Structure 1
Amino acid sequence: MYISKIHIENFKSFKGSFKLLLEKGINIIVGENEAGKSTIIEAIHLALSGLLNGKYLNNELTQYIFNYEVIREYLDNLSNGVNSAPPHILIEIFIEGDNISEFEGNGNSEKSNSSGISLKIAFDEKYKKEYEDLIKIGGIKSLPIEYYNILWSSFARDENITIRTIPIKSALIDSASNKFQNGSDVYISRIIKEFLESNEIVEISQSHRKMRDFFMADDSIKKINKKIEEATKISDKKVEISVELSSKNAWENSLMTYLDDIPFHYVGKGEQCIIKTKLALSHKKAKEANIILLEEPENHLSHAKLNQLISDIKCHSSDKQILISTHSSFVSNKLGLEHLILLNNKKTIRLNDLSLETKLFFEKLSGYDTLRMILCKKAILVEGDSDELVVQRAFMDANNGLLPIENGIDVISVGTSFLRFLEIAEKLGKNVVVVTDNDGDVNALIKKYKNYLSINKKQNIKICFDSIIDTGTLKIGTYEFNYNTLEPKILKENGLNKMNTLLGKSFADIDELHKHMKSNKTECAFKIFDSSENIKFPEYILDAIKE
């Protein structure tokens, strides 16, 4: 059993209708800030649990969970005398699997015969007369939330569903925030409770009651309560201190989770995230197909701890559905780019048809900044750090000192893995430029990039290199010097004297300068980047930075 699709209308950042298809196992949502990643996770958790920010929505209903633009349009219409229906929120969870026939029907926005849950927050028609009277006198200046109702139903139109009857349970883990209930973490308390059998819960309740009896029988407590009784004149009834037993599950609120004698909320947030995730993954009710909603697991975790957490997720996710939001290339690479969902302008793009070689490459060599390319407006891919600095300086010279990233253009060093990144760019339609050396063999370069040159050229992908092969007599040891990399190409454009000035050197022989620049690539690139001199750049570099 798993969630196959979610449909959202007018909830927070989503104006109008939004649909997202989900896979059985791992789903990774990436996108810029404010793209709606957290809203999707909140919507799923709300529809399955009735909880928003750790509190029941029935008690916390506010206009601020509605899309701002939708409310603004509604109020503007009313102020202009245009009759406008109050906006609504709709969250639909489509479920697939066994033993869910009681949730099957066409009571959904698609009118399709499907199984699922619907949560609708809408105007309650029983207040229609009162609402119309309020409109007549121009009394509505904000969303009349007091006239709204929350309707929780199945696609079979059963309006008596409860959290207990919903077949899929959600576990929301957000390492960026902590919500406590009387000092104990709400999530931990709920998970531990669900680990227990019913007879064990009874035993805990009885032990808690015995603790109250023991507390009240203590001589010091008796003495204090007698003193209170004698001193108080506020009531004819006896006033005393005791242990809270008023609610049915009082033990849940008063007990606290400890780790090595340390209260859970005093443990580091990274460790909290790991423990919560492991508890959810090892939950005894795994066969109930719980969905784990994990927000930005990279928060507060060291590289080693994050690697451990990801390994746990991969090893124990075969019978779980997991939805993760992240800004970490390491997380997305390790868990598999084929599970990635790019969220951009409320539209989604998937990378689930990458070649097996590329999937395995980024999973095993997970340090590559794939998300930098995926999330930027345009990427310029270069081979190394020195190339990155030189390209950035060329861009700044052509754009009044602005760095590329200030224009949404990211210059990314990818080693020799250009083709792996281009495969991703091609799937996403991402604007990408490759800046590469010809290394003295233009034909080999053309062969390597044959899928992106000439008749196979892609509109969004440009390959930039120098088509001229330079030669010379310099040898370093027994090896012939390569005149067809970035450093000799820049030296060729600027000449010996200018390069000496740029680098703060005084070489009399151009070959000595060639050898110095080859041995000190990054140092020379830094000096080029920081120089106040006018610099000439090779034509293929200038071509790469053109908008």
Structure 2
Amino acid sequence: MYISKINIENFKSFKGSFKLFLDRGINIVVGENEAGKSTIIEAIHLTLSGLLNGKYLNNELTQYIFNYEVVTEYLDNLNKGINSMPPHILIEIFIEGEDISEFEGNGNSEKTNSSGISLKIAFDEKYKKEYEDLIKIGGIKSLPIEYYNILWSSFARDENITIRTIPIKSALIDSASNKFQNGSDVYISRIIKEFLESNEIVEISQSHRKMRDYFMEDDSIKKINDKIKEATKISDKKVEISVELSSKNAWENSLMTYLDDIPFHYIGKGEQCIIKTKLALSHKKAKEANIILLEEPENHLSHAKLNQLISDIKKHSNDKQILISTHSSFVSNKLGLEHLILLNNKKTIRLNNLSADTKLFFEKLSGYDTLRMILCKKAILVEGDSDELVVQRAFMDANNGLLPIEKGIDVISVGTSFLRFLEVAEKLEKNAIVVTDNDGDVNALKLKYKKYLEANKKHTIKICFDDVIDSGNLKIRTKEFNYNTLEPKILKENGISVMNKIFGKTFNDIDEMHKHMKSNKTDCALKIFDSKDNIKFPQYILDAIVD
């Protein structure tokens, strides 16, 4: 049993209808800040648990969970005398799997015969007269939440379902947030409770009741209660302090989880995240098909701990559905880019059908900044640090001192993995530019990039290189010098006197300058980047920075 699709209407950042399809195993949602990643996770958890910000929705209902634009339009219409119905929130979760026939029907926004549940927050018609009277006197300045109703129902139109009868349970794990601090222990205690058999729960409850008896028989407590009785009359009834036992499951509220004698909510956030995730992954009631919702697992975790967490997630992804939001390339690469969902302008793009080699490459060499390319407006891909610095300087000279990133363009060092990144860029139709050396063999370069050149040219991908092959007599030891990399091309454009001034050198022999620039690539690139002098750049660099 798993969630195949979710429909969100007018909840927080989503105006109108937004649909997201989910896979059975791992789903990785990435996007810029405010793209709606957290809202998706909140919507799923709210519908499955009734909890918002760790508290029950009935106690947390506010107009601020409604889409701001929708609320503003509604209030503007009322001010203009246009009679509008108050906006609603609808969250629908479509379920696939076995033993869900009782949730099957066409009671969903698509009117399709599907299995699922819906949560609707909408105006309650029984308040229609009061609402109309309020409109007449112009008394509505904000969303009339007091006239709203919260309704859970199945697609079979059963309005009597409860959180307990919903077949899929959710576990929300957010290591970055402090808002669940008080609820963190409740969360972990609930998971531990679900590991217990019925007879074990009865035993705990009885033991908890015995605690009251021990508490009340303690001499110091007896003394305090006697003192209360002798004090000025508080009430006609007996007043005394005791242990809370008013509800059947009172023990749950007082259950405290300890790690090495330290209360759970006092341990580090990273350790909390790992323990919660492991408990959720190892939940013995696998048939309940829990969905695990992970908010930015990279927060508060060292590289080693994050690697451990990802390993645990991958191990259990066959029998659990997992939805992760992240800003970490490491997390995305390690869990598999094929599971990635890019959220952009409330639309989704998937990285389906990546080649097996590319998926394995990024998984095994997970330090590559794939998300930098995926999330930027345009990517300029270069081989190394020195190329990155030179391209940025050329861009700044052409754009009044603005760095590329200030215009949404990211210059990214990718080593020799250009084709891997281009495959990802092509799938996403991402604007990507490759800046590369010709290394003295233009034909080999054209063969390497034949998929993106001439007749095969893609409108989103551009390959920039110098098509002139330079040569000379310089040898370093016994190896012939390569005149067709970035450094000799810059020296060729500017001449030795300009380079001497930039580097603070006094070379008279151009070969000595070649040797210096080859041996000190990054240092030379830094001096070029910081130089106040005018610098000429090779044409293929200039081609790369043109909009």
TM-score tier (shorter): over 0.9
**Match for 1:504: what amino acid?**
G
Closer/same/farther in 2, CA of residues 206 and 178 from structure 1, 3 Å limit = farther
Structure 2 CA distance for aligned equivalents of residues 540 and 66 of structure 1? 50
Closer/same/farther in 2, CA of residues 226 and 302 from structure 1, 3 Å limit = same
Q: Shift of residue 179 of structure 1?
A: 5.0
Q: Shift of residue 233 of structure 1?
A: 2.1
Structure 1 CA distance for aligned equivalents of residues 434 and 180 of structure 2? 50
Asked whether the equivalents of residues 434 and 464 of structure 2 are also in contact (C-alpha less than 8 Å), the reply is yes
Which residue of structure 2 lines up, in the alignment, with residue 320 of structure 1?
320
Q: Structure 2 matches for 1:145-544, cutoff 5 A?
A: 145-178=145-178, 185-544=185-544
- SS class of match (1:23): coil
Gaps of 5+ in 1: none
Deviations 1:462-498 (A, max 9, x none): 1000010000000001110000000000000110010
Closer/same/farther in 2, CA of residues 204 and 180 from structure 1, 3 Å limit = farther
Structure 1 CA distance for aligned equivalents of residues 90 and 357 of structure 2? 41
Asked whether the equivalents of residues 180 and 186 of structure 1 are also in contact (C-alpha less than 8 Å), the reply is no
Asked whether the equivalents of residues 182 and 254 of structure 1 are also in contact (C-alpha less than 8 Å), the reply is no
Structure 2 CA distance for aligned equivalents of residues 284 and 173 of structure 1? 18
Q: Shift of residue 180 of structure 1?
A: 5.8
Asked whether the equivalents of residues 184 and 256 of structure 1 are also in contact (C-alpha less than 8 Å), the reply is no
Deviations 1:213-254 (A, max 9, x none): 101111111112212221242113222221111222221121
**Match for 2:37: what amino acid?**
K
Which residue of structure 2 lines up, in the alignment, with residue 89 of structure 1?
89
Asked whether the equivalents of residues 122 and 148 of structure 2 are also in contact (C-alpha less than 8 Å), the reply is yes
Deviations 1:140-166 (A, max 9, x none): 111111111111000000000011111
Asked whether the equivalents of residues 181 and 265 of structure 2 are also in contact (C-alpha less than 8 Å), the reply is no
Asked whether the equivalents of residues 2 and 24 of structure 1 are also in contact (C-alpha less than 8 Å), the reply is yes
Deviations 1:493-521 (A, max 9, x none): 11001000011111111101100110110
- SS class of match (1:153): strand
Q: Shift of residue 360 of structure 1?
A: 0.4
Asked whether the equivalents of residues 493 and 537 of structure 1 are also in contact (C-alpha less than 8 Å), the reply is yes
Taking only aligned residues, the RMSD between alpha carbons, in angstroms, comes to 1.0
Structure 2 CA distance for aligned equivalents of residues 474 and 132 of structure 1? 90
325-334 or 218-227, which deviates more:
218-227
- SS class of match (1:166): coil
Structure 2 CA distance for aligned equivalents of residues 134 and 478 of structure 1? 92
Deviations 1:355-377 (A, max 9, x none): 11100000000000000000000
Structure 1 CA distance for aligned equivalents of residues 386 and 180 of structure 2? 49
- SS class of match (1:468): coil
Structure 2 CA distance for aligned equivalents of residues 179 and 126 of structure 1? 35
Structure 2 CA distance for aligned equivalents of residues 443 and 201 of structure 1? 74
486-495 or 213-222, which deviates more:
213-222
Which residue of structure 1 lines up, in the alignment, with residue 114 of structure 2?
114
- SS class of match (1:391): helix
Structure 2 CA distance for aligned equivalents of residues 180 and 348 of structure 1? 29
Structure 2 CA distance for aligned equivalents of residues 433 and 184 of structure 1? 46
Deviations 1:159-187 (A, max 9, x none): 00011111111111111124568686121
Which residue of structure 2 lines up, in the alignment, with residue 546 of structure 1?
546
Structure 2 CA distance for aligned equivalents of residues 435 and 232 of structure 1? 86
- SS class of match (2:495): helix
Asked if 1:71 is matched to 2:71, the reply is yes
55-64 or 96-105, which deviates more:
55-64
- SS class of match (2:78): helix
Closer/same/farther in 2, CA of residues 181 and 237 from structure 1, 3 Å limit = farther
Closer/same/farther in 2, CA of residues 78 and 103 from structure 1, 3 Å limit = same
Identity %: 89
235-244 or 34-43, which deviates more:
235-244
Structure 2 CA distance for aligned equivalents of residues 107 and 183 of structure 1? 34
Structure 2 CA distance for aligned equivalents of residues 183 and 224 of structure 1? 32
- SS class of match (2:512): helix
Structure 2 CA distance for aligned equivalents of residues 282 and 353 of structure 1? 30
- SS class of match (1:185): helix
Deviations 1:508-547 (A, max 9, x none): 1110110011011001001111111111110100110111
371-380 or 223-232, which deviates more:
223-232
Structure 2 CA distance for aligned equivalents of residues 189 and 269 of structure 1? 17
Structure 2 CA distance for aligned equivalents of residues 180 and 27 of structure 1? 23
Structure 1 CA distance for aligned equivalents of residues 234 and 49 of structure 2? 42
Asked whether the equivalents of residues 179 and 185 of structure 1 are also in contact (C-alpha less than 8 Å), the reply is no
**Match for 1:331: what amino acid?**
V
Structure 1 CA distance for aligned equivalents of residues 178 and 158 of structure 2? 35
Q: Shift of residue 341 of structure 1?
A: 0.2
Q: Shift of residue 288 of structure 1?
A: 1.4
Deviations 1:286-307 (A, max 9, x none): 1211100000000000000000
Asked whether the equivalents of residues 7 and 19 of structure 2 are also in contact (C-alpha less than 8 Å), the reply is yes
Closer/same/farther in 2, CA of residues 182 and 490 from structure 1, 3 Å limit = closer
Gaps of 5+ in 2: none
Q: Shift of residue 133 of structure 1?
A: 1.1
Structure 1 CA distance for aligned equivalents of residues 401 and 497 of structure 2? 25
Structure 2 CA distance for aligned equivalents of residues 180 and 24 of structure 1? 27
Which residue of structure 1 lines up, in the alignment, with residue 22 of structure 2?
22
Structure 2 CA distance for aligned equivalents of residues 528 and 416 of structure 1? 23
Deviations 1:412-466 (A, max 9, x none): 0000000000001101110111000000000000000001010111111110000
Closer/same/farther in 2, CA of residues 244 and 232 from structure 1, 3 Å limit = farther
Structure 2 CA distance for aligned equivalents of residues 97 and 467 of structure 1? 58
Q: TM-score, normalised by structure 1?
A: 0.99
Q: Structure 2 matches for 1:44-83, cutoff 5 A?
A: 44-83=44-83
Deviations 1:364-418 (A, max 9, x none): 0000000000000000000000000000011111111111101110000000000
Structure 2 CA distance for aligned equivalents of residues 270 and 288 of structure 1? 27
466-475 or 254-263, which deviates more:
254-263
Q: Shift of residue 316 of structure 1?
A: 1.3
Asked whether the equivalents of residues 232 and 239 of structure 1 are also in contact (C-alpha less than 8 Å), the reply is no
Structure 2 CA distance for aligned equivalents of residues 181 and 228 of structure 1? 35
Asked whether the equivalents of residues 53 and 180 of structure 2 are also in contact (C-alpha less than 8 Å), the reply is no
Structure 2 CA distance for aligned equivalents of residues 524 and 41 of structure 1? 47
Q: TM-score, normalised by structure 2?
A: 0.99
- Count of residues in correspondence between the two structures: 547
Closer/same/farther in 2, CA of residues 21 and 183 from structure 1, 3 Å limit = closer
- SS class of match (2:221): helix
